[in-house]
Amino acid sequence: MVVELISVGTEILLGNIVNTNAAYLSEKCAALGLSCYHQSVVGDNEGRLEETVRLALSRSDIVILSGGLGPTKDDLTKEVTAKVFGKALYEDTHTKERIAGYFSQMRSGQVTENNWKQAMVPEGAKVVDNHNGTAPGLIIEENGKTAILLPGPPNEIKPMFERDIVPYLRSLEPEGIYSKMVKICSIGESKAETMVSDLLENQSNPTIAPYAKTGEVHFRVTAKAADEREADGLIEPVIRYLYRIFGDKIYTTSEEVTLEDAVVELLKENELTLTTAESCTAGLLAGRIMNVAGASKVYNEGYITYSNEAKERILSVSHETLERYGAVSPETAAEMAEGAARAAKASASLSVTGIAGPDGGTKEKPVGLVYISCQVRGKMRTEEFRFTGNREKNREYAVVRALTLLWEELMEV
């Protein structure tokens, strides 16, 4: 089935907020085996919104609209979609009671009159309860076409989609859609795709789709089957094939597991403790690691040493090394990792030093030059990287490369 996404809100068009809903919904629809050929962003304008909805319905089976379900006059998604489908609005008693209960629970005082606007729903629509806000979701079906209306706030749309919309979309297909994600680090997208080009060119069921992430490549393997057992029988041979091609570069086949999750798990399995010493990344690496639940069992302390003085005082980087080679050098990176491991009494350490930009680069040491050192049980490895993005991207890539370097070393323990 073909699905189309419409994001509603002038604030998105103006760039006041980032349209994360579209990325989320795209990924989820792909995982369900739905084909998405068009996406639109439209402001809070009745005429343009109606035109967009009509066009989407003319070329797609399902249209998912996010945003514009609030209580104010410029929230028009429900009204316009009802008009397109020729549906009148009526007050839904169940939704009205939920809105009253929500405000009572939040102790927000009396419900303002405009909030009751959210209790008006199109005739014949399926109402999807919102457990995190006041605007319900809505499903309108007519003549083989479906419109799904979802609230805009991410903390409302995501749980609603997972809880109610995913089962609904699954019910529309006679066969179920099942998928697994194979996540790969330490290899680029173009090379990874080339390595499995024969599989990509001759796929049918299951299908395989590559996704480029920052410093990673993900392959989603999707199968249509009557049940999960049948799907596993289709998917597992493909995953075994990918393991033969990529080997230890695959760090997980779980949708939920991140690279930092996998690294922390390996540290636990090998009874290792980790510390970090960061210059240009300024704590981003430590933050990624500490985002993992249970990371405190393997990570006790880390260091941000931007200045040369801090590198000398905290990490015992020698003054001679800094004078002779500079703060951005393989020698300094190695001494940072060594000093951090010693100071934290950790059996593994990562250090990052580089020139993130936009200033500070020279011909010999340009912006984007980063050195990363990884030490595991006394074995040191230092790598040079030359990134070409802006300051934010350079730091982000440095963090991923550091985690990848640690992953590779831990796989050899």
Sort strands 35-42 and 89-91 into parallel, antiparallel or unpaired: unpaired
Q: Is 289 found in the same domain as 369?
A: yes
Find the CATH number of the domain harbouring 183. 3.30.70.2860
Q: Is 152 found in the same domain as 31?
A: yes
Find the CATH number of the domain harbouring 167. 3.40.980.10
Q: Is 17 found in the same domain as 88?
A: yes
Long-range contacts of 159-164 (CB under 8 A, 24+ apart): 159/131, 159/132, 160/128, 160/130, 160/131, 160/132, 161/24, 161/25, 161/28, 163/131, 164/128, 164/129, 164/137
- What's residue 16's pLDDT? 95
**CA gap 141, 212 in Å, rounded:** 35
Q: Is 161 found in the same domain as 12?
A: yes
Q: Is 128 found in the same domain as 230?
A: no
Q: Is 383 found in the same domain as 243?
A: no
Q: Is 158 found in the same domain as 87?
A: yes
Which of 113, 144, 172 corresponds to the end of one domain? 172
**H helices present in 107-227, as ranges:** 154-160, 166-172, 189-195, 197-201
Instruction: With CA atoms as reference, report the closest residue to 147 among 88, 229, 65.
Output: 65
Sort strands 126-128 and 89-91 into parallel, antiparallel or unpaired: unpaired
Q: Is 168 found in the same domain as 30?
A: yes
- What's residue 56's pLDDT? 98
- What's residue 26's pLDDT? 92
Give the domain extent around 274.
259-410
- What's residue 147's pLDDT? 98
pLDDT in tens, the chain (413 residues): 899 999 999 999 999 999 999 999 998 888 787 889 999 999 999 999 999 999 999 999 999 999 999 999 999 999 999 999 999 999 999 999 998 888 887 766 677 888 899 999 999 999 999 999 999 999 999 999 999 999 999 999 999 999 999 999 988 876 777 889 999 998 888 899 899 998 888 888 998 988 888 889 999 998 988 888 999 999 999 999 999 999 999 999 998 999 999 999 999 999 999 999 999 999 999 999 999 999 999 999 999 999 999 999 999 999 999 999 999 999 999 999 999 999 999 999 999 999 999 999 999 999 999 999 999 999 999 999 999 989 999 999 999 999 999 999 999 98
**CA gap 371, 329 in Å, rounded:** 6
The total domain count for the chain is 3
**CA gap 334, 299 in Å, rounded:** 20
Q: Is 357 found in the same domain as 331?
A: yes
Q: Is 186 found in the same domain as 167?
A: no
